[in-house]
Amino acid sequence: MESAEFIQAILDNLNYFWITILMAIESSFIPFPSELVVPPAAYMAAIDGKMSISLVVLFATLGADIGALFNYYLARWLGRPIVYRFANSRLGHMCLIDQEKVQKAEDYFDKHGAVSTFVGRLLPAIRQLISIPAGLARMKMGPFLLYTTLGAGIWNGILAAIGYYLSTVPGINTREQLQEKINQYSHEMGYLFIAVCAVVVAFLVYKALRKKKTSGQNKSFS
């Protein structure tokens, strides 16, 4: 059996074990979209009742934590030069990683601090890589795991909600039709999160600048 056929067979017979394994892969640097796992699993849970949607989210989040920890410790142990060397290698490119993407994730982490491991889990292109700058910065394990779990849990909950909703939509008769709908809704949610995060960041910057300005004015009067 070829690897593509093997993966397809797993996707056609998802259970909690494979959800955890596939989401661990998705959360590492290996390219594997979570949209192929969580929404179909939630859809199947709603249709045949063999799995629980809440447990689908739980095991998906557990898998995401495992993959994130792998990236974190890999970056922490190897260090920046080797991480960037891997990103520029042929194997790194095969994993859809390059220096620009790693640098983008590191800049995002440097700009927003520890909370970026939470927000980053909700953003396309940043989601899989945000653990790398956290490892390079030797972020404390407690906050890292907390923010990662919260961000991954929210994202997996949204994907599961999409799968559950699609189980109520008539006219979905094939896996291809299901995946097409999943991709449509997940992309829309991704764009929505980017817009929301941009507004939140802009508001925080505005508050920080206003506080700094007010503090400066108070000093001038004293």
Q: Is 62 helix (H, G, I), strand (E, B) or coil?
A: helix
What's the pLDDT at 127?
74
Residue ranges making up the domain that contains 217: 3-221
- Distance between CA 81 and CA 87 in Å, rounded? 10
Q: What angle do CA 184, 12, 3 make, to 5 degrees?
A: 100
CB atoms within 10 A of CB 26: 23
Nearest to 132 by CA among 179, 94, 84, 195: 84
Q: What is the DSSP string of 199-215?
A: HHHHHHHHHHHHHHHHH
- Distance between CA 120 and CA 126 in Å, rounded? 6
134, amino acid identity: A
CB atoms within 10 A of CB 146: 14
Cβ atoms of residues 39 and 166 within 8 Å:
yes
pLDDT in tens, the chain (222 residues): 454 565 566 667 788 999 999 999 888 877 677 788 888 889 888 888 888 999 999 999 999 999 999 989 988 888 776 766 766 677 655 655 666 767 777 776 767 667 778 877 777 667 777 888 888 888 888 989 999 999 899 889 988 988 888 888 777 766 676 777 776 666 666 666 666 666 666 666 666 677 666 665 555 555
* C-alpha separations of 177 from 40, 96, 169, 171, 174 in Å: 11, 26, 11, 9, 5
The total of structural domains in the chain comes to: 1
pTM of the model: 0.72
- Distance between CA 102 and CA 213 in Å, rounded? 34
Number of H helices, E strands in the chain: 11, 0
- Distance between CA 165 and CA 183 in Å, rounded? 14
